[in-house]
């Protein structure tokens, strides 16, 4: 077993655990911090898959910008401690548990059975996710659409500034 596969497995387990912690936590700030951990573990998984650009975007956009917005929303809403509502275990709990067990069985079956050719990557896949390959594709094949979108975004920003400007 290579170091990359071992690191991928560790990051996958941490990602699943932090995802469960995000959903199960009653404290919104603890849930947000678990979500930040989840985003960083996903970036690590992208790095093990040789997708450096996607990992950088994951950290910058999601763990950075989106989580700042989430934390600001938590602060603005002034979420207090609500009473913990207790539900009686009904049919939803039983169905949810059964579906969770079936999902765990399927993941275990897929992870521990050796399918022929599962570990074979197509040729050239190691350089597909790099920033260099993305930049070459973007600026050679799709230069005109890239410039058109940048011009459209510039017009939108100028329009938003003009609309937001107050008359004195």
What does residue 26 show for φ and ψ, rounded to 5 degrees? -85, -25
Cα separation, 40 vs 106, whole angstroms: 26
Name the residue ranges covered by the structural domains of the chain: 1-80, 127-168
pLDDT in tens, 33-61: 899 999 999 999 999 988 888 888 888 88
The answer to whether domain 1-80 has CATH 2.40.50.100 is no
Cα separation, 78 vs 133, whole angstroms: 45
CA dihedral 113, 15, 39, 22 (to 10 degrees): 140
Q: Are the C-beta atoms of 127 and 49 separated by less than 8 Å?
A: no
Q: What is the mean pLDDT of the chain?
A: 82
Quick check: 87 pLDDT over 60?
A: no
* 78 Rama sector, left if φ>0, alpha if ψ -120 to 50, beta otherwise: left
Q: What is the mean pLDDT of residues 67-72?
A: 81
pTM for this prediction: 0.58
Q: What is the mean pLDDT of residues 142-154?
A: 89
The confidence score (pLDDT) of residue 17 equals: 94
Cα separation, 4 vs 111, whole angstroms: 16
Cα separation, 50 vs 134, whole angstroms: 13
> What is the torsional sign of CA 42, 43, 48, 50?
positive
pLDDT in tens, 99-122: 989 999 988 887 777 665 566 666
Q: How confident is the model at residue 125 (pLDDT cuts 50, 70, 90)?
A: low
The confidence score (pLDDT) of residue 42 equals: 93
């Amino acid at each position: 077993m290579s170091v990359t596969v071992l690191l991928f497995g560790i990051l996958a387990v941490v990602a699943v655990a932090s995802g469960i912690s995000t959903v199960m936590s009653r404290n919104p700030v603890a849930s947000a911090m678990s979500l930040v951990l989840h985003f960083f573990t996903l970036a690590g998984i992208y790095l093990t898959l040789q997708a450096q650009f996607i990992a950088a975007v994951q950290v910058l956009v999601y763990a950075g910008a989106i989580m700042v917005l989430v934390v600001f929303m938590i602060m603005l809403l002034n979420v207090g401690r609500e009473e913990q509502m207790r539900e009686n275990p009904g049919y939803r709990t039983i169905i949810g548990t059964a579906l969770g067990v079936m999902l765990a069985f399927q993941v275990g079956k897929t992870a521990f059975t050796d399918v022929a050719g599962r570990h074979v990557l197509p040729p050239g896949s190691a350089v597909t996710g790099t920033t260099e390959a993305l930049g070459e594709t973007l600026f050679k094949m799709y230069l005109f659409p890239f410039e058109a979108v940048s011009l459209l975004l510039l017009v939108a920003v100028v329009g938003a500034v003009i609309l937001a400007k107050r008359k004195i």
